[in-house]
């Protein structure tokens, strides 16, 4: 009798543990099913979305890969547009600005490897390679003289570019461009986490929850917004972009001793109030101080100035270019 009682007591003691174990197993199974469902949905929708993706631009061969480029307008002068880091589709993202510039200029938008409809690449995403690839595209297009205009990190690549190909660039236009000495560029990015989000499909879920940054912008029509969403999901955390992310600190560091050529016309369009970086305006004032033709224009808008201030940018670029004497 005592043995049976002991067994009953022991069973009663183990019962909560058994229940807890079942709960844990149930949670693990539920998580596994959730991830499996997300993964399958991602695979299915990725295939469906590729069928809805509309091609644009022209593919230019560079190092055995294809880089996508759009060309609009037939003005005598050429403007070459370079995107900020991770821009989903440079050609579509720059739509409002291209519409304002193309009546007066030939406007070329370059989608670097890993961006828009361009291929990915295994080549290291350091500034030297990126600059060389951009130049190869322009050489293929037989474009030898142009205004170089870029957003955000294009300020880093642009510094290298205008020093290396100074004889080709007639002016540099920065749209809230990065500065080599700005703070916060030495942080490490969770590359492994981004890869996991890409592979499992959880990245798609997070993007759905966050919503599109273009959703409320009246400067983009619904069709363009839909295409931007499709391309964002296609290119999200791709290996080329992640490699560029890994190189950000080194690319900024290597540009610290570079300056814009003093004879190069230089104009920056900047956020009037960058709350995250109080030194934003002074950093750019330092960049233009030795320029013979340097100018800063402050705009009341966020980092993507061209989303809402394209008209102001275009008008001021035209006025600036008309003011400065030819550099050739």
Residues 47 and 64 in one domain: no
- List the helix and strand counts (H, then E) for the chain: 12, 8
Residue 181 within a domain: yes
The C-alpha atoms of residue 52 and residue 41 are separated, in whole angstroms, by: 17
Is there a domain that residue 77 lies in?
A: yes
Residue 283's pLDDT band, with cuts at 50, 70 and 90, is: very high
Clarify whether residues 19 and 154 are in a common domain: no
Look up residue 73 and give its two tokens.
């307008």
**Position 328 in a domain:** no
pTM of the model: 0.88
Looking at the fold, whether 2 and 122 belong to one and the same domain comes out as no
Looking at per-residue pLDDT, the higher value among 116 and 209 belongs to: 116
Indicate whether 186 belongs to any domain: yes
3-state secondary structure of 68: strand
Domain that holds residue 161: 58-323
* pLDDT (tens digit per residue) in 127-170: 999 999 999 999 999 999 999 999 999 999 999 999 999 999 99
* Most confident of the following: 186-190, 202-206, 290-294, 307-311: 307-311
> Within a domain: residue 199?
yes
Say yes or no: 27 and 80 in one domain: no
Whether 7 has a pLDDT exceeding 60, the answer reads: no
Give the tens place of pLDDT for each residue, 314-324. 999 999 999 98
User: Is-contact 89 118, C-beta < 8 A?
Assistant: no
Phi, psi of 77 (to 5 degrees): -95, 150
154-164 and 239-254 helices, crossing angle to 10°: 60
Cβ-Cβ contacts under 8 Å for 303 (sequence gap 6 or more)? 84, 152, 176, 271
**Hey, CA dihedral for 131, 133, 134, 140, is it positive or negative?**
positive
Whole-number pLDDT of residue 198: 87
User: How many domains are there within the chain?
Assistant: 2
pLDDT above 70 (res 328)? no
Q: What is the pLDDT of residues 61-103, one digit of tens each?
A: 999 999 999 999 999 999 999 999 999 999 999 999 999 999 9
Please identify, among 29, 52, 75, the residue that sits at the C-terminal boundary of a domain: 52
């Amino acid at each position: 009798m005592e043995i049976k009682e002991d067994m009953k007591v022991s069973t009663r003691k183990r019962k909560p543990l058994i229940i807890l174990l079942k709960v844990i197993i149930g949670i693990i199974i539920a998580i596994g099913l959730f991830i499996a469902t997300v993964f399958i949905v991602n695979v299915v929708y990725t295939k469906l979305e590729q069928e809805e993706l509309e091609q644009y631009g022209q593919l230019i061969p560079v190092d055995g890969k294809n880089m996508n480029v759009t060309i609009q307008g037939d003005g005598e002068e050429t403007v070459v547009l370079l995107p900020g880091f991770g821009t989903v589709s440079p050609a579509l993202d720059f739509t409002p600005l291209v519409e304002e510039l193309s009546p007066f200029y030939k406007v070329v938008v370059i989608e670097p490897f890993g961006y828009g409809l361009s291929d990915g690449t295994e080549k290291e995403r350091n500034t030297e390679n990126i600059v060389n690839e951009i130049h190869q595209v322009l050489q293929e297009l037989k474009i030898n003289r142009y205004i170089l205009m870029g957003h955000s990190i294009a300020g880093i690549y642009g510094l290298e570019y205008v020093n290396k190909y100074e004889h080709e660039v007639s002016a540099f236009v920065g749209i809230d461009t990065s500065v080599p000495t700005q703070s916060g560029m030495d942080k490490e990015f969770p590359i492994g986490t981004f890869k996991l989000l890409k592979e499992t499909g959880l990245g798609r879920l997070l993007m759905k929850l966050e919503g599109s940054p273009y959703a409320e912008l009246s400067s983009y029509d619904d069709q363009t917004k839909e295409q931007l969403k499709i391309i964002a999901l296609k290119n999200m955390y791709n290996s080329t972009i992640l490699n560029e992310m890994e190189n950000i600190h080194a690319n900024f560091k290597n540009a610290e001793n570079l300056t814009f050529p003093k004879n190069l016309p230089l104009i920056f369009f900047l956020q009037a109030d960058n709350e995250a970086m109080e030194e934003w305006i002074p950093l750019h004032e330092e960049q233009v101080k030795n320029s013979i033709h340097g100018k800063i224009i402050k705009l009341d808008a966020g980092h993507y100035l061209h989303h809402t201030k394209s008209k102001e940018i275009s008008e001021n670029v035209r006025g600036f270019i008309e003011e400065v004497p030819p550099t050739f």
